[in-house]
Structure 1
């Protein structure tokens, strides 16, 4: 059967992708950010999955205020990089895994989670920046990717508890797929940041690191945190962190298995007025 072997968590800051695309990664401002992913790139080479189930949010490219699905599962064969106003990023086409996507859709919907199924869509920095920081700048991404969009832009957004339970349903779906696949699940977005208003530029180091502690040690309790706490402590865009709970909910320990191994943890501020958080957890199964 397929199995989830690890989860990866990372911010998906658009300026990080721009810095890579323009060759600025070794500039003094950016070098500390990219240094935090050097271990991760080597780890990924040694632990290359067949498929990455990548949880992210669209930023007004595939979806607009005319239609915003709460949860949207990519079921297509390929996804082009989106034009976010300055042309598509110079990154490879994202190739999906339609068979596993279709199986996850069947399983998760029958598990009482309503999903929007998307056969064609462009993918923006929310998905391509995590791929870039983990893989570098290859000619082709080294694995298949299943995009999974979560609405964290237009209220109402899903609760942390709903996201955590969805992660558990995704694990059940993956493990019931009758093919030997190594699957990783990635949660992206955050950490603390606010892009507008009186608190624009907010970063909360203490809260961010406490969130990482709780995500590792007690994700079930963390999933009960109300939206207002995210907004108050981590800024208006900090609520993106509920997407990390989907990835965490898919890990073995919250489903009766052993605690995961923390392979890497990284935190840095600032990066374009945003806190960069990153974590790699390996399942012990």
Structure 2
């Protein structure tokens, strides 16, 4: 059977992708941030996931304000990097896992979660920046990502957005679906976005380090309670775009301890400010044997 071995949490700041693509990762401003992912790259090489179920939000590339699904699962075999106004990022196409994605959709929808099935879409920095951070840039000699990816897009752009509890409960359903897939697969689930940031208005540039780190503490130790935090707290404490953090609760809800298993191992934790106008958070949790 397929098995979720770990969850990964990371910001997906577009300027990080630009720094990678323009060769700026060793510049004084950026070097401390990218050094914070050196451990993660080596960890991924050792883990060798077959599939990453990657929770992210689209930034008006695959979807627009004309039509925004609350939850959308990619079931295609391939996804091209999106042109976000300055050309697509110079990264490989993302290869999906249509069979597992279709199985997850079937299971989760039967568990009363409404998903939009997406058979074609381009993927923007919300998905490609985490891949670059965790895997590095694939060499030209083997120009592909090292595993298959199932994109899972969440609306955190246009209100109403899903509650933290809704996302947490959805994570439980995703875990159940993955673990009922009849193929031996090493699956990781990633929650991306955040941390605190606001892009407009009088509070533009807001970063709340204390709240962010408390969020990480609670994500590790008391995720069910964290899932009860209302939207207004995210907006007040973490800025208007801080609501992206509800996507981390999908990944956390898919971990074994939530279903009665042992607590996950905290493999790695990293926090850095600023990256552009955003606080960057990163966490790796591994499921432990029962």
- TM-score bucket of the superposed structures, by smaller chain: over 0.9
* Partner Cα distance (1:48, 1:200) in 2: 39
The match for 2:14 is 14
Query: Which ranges of 4 or more aligned residues in structure 1 deviate by more than 3 Å?
Result: none
Alignment of 1:27-42 (within 5 A): 27-42=27-42
CA offset digits 1:141-190 (Å, max 9, x no partner)? 00000000000000000000000000000000000000000000000000
Alignment of 1:46-125 (within 5 A): 46-125=46-125
Give yes or no for the alignment of 1:198 onto 2:202: yes
Alignment of 1:127-142 (within 5 A): 127-138=127-138, 139-142=143-146
* Partner Cα distance (1:62, 1:48) in 2: 29
Note the residue ranges of structure 2 that are not aligned, 5 or more in a row: none
How far off is 1:198 after superposition? 0.2
The match for 2:2 is 2
How far off is 1:114 after superposition? 0.2
Note the residue ranges of structure 1 that are not aligned, 5 or more in a row: none
Give yes or no for the alignment of 1:255 onto 2:255: no
The match for 2:156 is 152
* Partner Cα distance (2:217, 2:48) in 1: 26
Give yes or no for the alignment of 1:279 onto 2:283: yes
The match for 1:233 is 237
CA offset digits 1:194-230 (Å, max 9, x no partner)? 0000000000000000000000000000000000000
Alpha-carbon RMSD: 0.3
How far off is 1:48 after superposition? 1.3
* Partner Cα distance (2:92, 2:277) in 1: 27
The match for 2:246 is 242
How far off is 1:282 after superposition? 0.3
3-state SS of 1:104 partner: helix
